[in-house]
Amino acid sequence: MHEKRRYAILTEGYLTDRHAKTAHGVMQYGRDDIVAVIDSTYAGKNAIDVVPHLGRSSPIVANAREALALGPTSLLLGVATAGGVVPPAFRVQILDAIDAGVEIVSGLHEFLNDDEEFVARAKASGAKLWDVREVPDGIPLFSGEAYRVPQTVVLAVGSDCAIGKMTVMLELERAGRAAGARPEFVATGQTGILIAGKGIAVDRVISDFVAGAAERLVLSVGQTTDVTLVEGQGSILHPAYAPVTLGLLYGCAPDCFVLCHDAARNRIEEFDVPIPDLKTLAAMHESWVAPIKPARCVAVALNTHKLDEGAARAAIDNAERDTGLPADDVVRFGADRLWRAIAKAAA
């Protein structure tokens, strides 16, 4: 485990906005402490009342100075803006935190470490600047060591991008812990990294090393972990992103897959690629890895958020009939059933 951070999460003006999805993800799934949310719009309230579905209690304060009094180790920029730039209103808050020697954490495209003022002030105060999208140095080539880890490695795969693969693995981790197991979520993208406190944004890794990055992640889990739940990326059907997906497929050397699919989607979103039926898609993944290290699909995670409850139940039933695998919407109906399928595969 990484050392626990104590976050002040900066959402100034965005707390209830969809662009605050970084803050929302960390509040809902993060295991770091949150000492304060900084948003003058709701100052004086508690986050549990403003965004109750996230299930996280935290005081909301008006600015970084008030948050600093609560002893954060880190200031998290809690937004994912269009274009990935730092919102202008954030700047003064960030500088106050930097001057206090507090670490700044950002998942934005615009790197903190490319901002001369941030860098200079951080140098003066000793504050760290963590750009979570920045790939660590020294990622090795894939070596095959991942074939010999003691954990059961489970990889989320799917029919397209942005269908909830990260959420599925986080819900499965939660269900596994509740069941007394010791699963560990492994992050491969920026939001996942913020939630887990570590990880590698594999889509930023040089292509020759993407399998090596995946392997390194699988080797990095805690000694007591029994099931490694690797966040997936992209899809083997995606004309642009499939190389990243294949890097995970080979580099993680998974023992099994959870097949993720948005029940309302039948084509890859940006390209004219039809999504085959789930049985075919599961078989494709199994046949791709078969010559390297065989792995089976053991569960289907359906995202049914666009369907009403009746249609969702029907889609899940269809997926089970089609694939012969347990299927569920882990957000809507809980992850216990799919966790049991994984626990069975791991036994």
Site for a copy of itself, rule CB under 8 A: 82-84, 109, 140-142, 144, 202-208, 210-212, 237, 239-244, 246-247, 250-251, 271-274, 276, 287-288, 291-292
The residue among 33 and 110 lying less far from a copy of itself, judged by its C-beta, is 110
Question: Closest separation between CB of residue 240 and a copy of itself, Å?
Answer: 4
Q: How far apart are CA 274 and CA 276, in angstroms?
A: 6
Closer Cβ to a copy of itself, 55 or 239, answer by number: 239
- Min dist CB 131 to a copy of itself, Å, is 13
Nearer to a copy of itself, 10 or 211 (CB): 211
Least CB distance to a copy of itself at residue 265 (A) = 15
Which single residue is written with the structure tokens 């934005």?
108
Beta strands in 14-166 (DSSP E): 33-38, 60-61, 74-77, 103-106, 129-131, 152-158
Q: Are 93 and 38 in contact (CB under 8 A)?
A: yes
Check if the beta carbon of residue 178 is closer than 8 Å to that of residue 171: no
Tell the smallest beta-carbon distance from residue 166 to a copy of itself (Å): 16
Query: 52-83: string of b/e by CB count within 10 Å (b at 16+)?
Result: eebebebbbbebbebbbeeebbbbbbbbbbee
How far apart (Å, rounded) are the C-alpha atoms in residues 200 and 67?
Answer: 29
Which of residues 204 and 340 has its CB atom nearest to a copy of itself in the complex? 204
For residue 75, list its beta bridge partners.
Answer: 8, 104
Q: Are strands 103-106 and 183-186 parallel, antiparallel or unpaired?
A: unpaired
**Distance of closest approach, residue 187 Cβ to a copy of itself, in angstroms:** 16
Query: What length does the chain have?
Result: 347
The minimum distance between CB 40 and a copy of itself, in angstroms, equals: 29
Kindly tell me which of 244 and 263 has the beta carbon lying closer to a copy of itself: 244
Q: 163's torsion region: left (phi>0), alpha (psi -120 to 50) or beta?
A: alpha
- Taking the complex as a whole, the smallest distance from the CB of residue 21 to a copy of itself amounts, in Å, to 16
Which tokens sit at 336? 């216990």
Q: For residues 2 and 267, which CB has a smaller minimum distance to a copy of itself in the complex?
A: 267
Question: With respect to a copy of itself, which residue has the nearer C-beta, 109 or 296?
Answer: 109
Distances (CA, A) of 158 to 56, 75, 99, 287, 301: 29, 33, 44, 15, 9
Q: What is the Cα–Cα distance from 15 to 27, expressed in whole angstroms?
A: 11
Q: Pick the closer one to a copy of itself by CB: 259 or 307.
A: 259
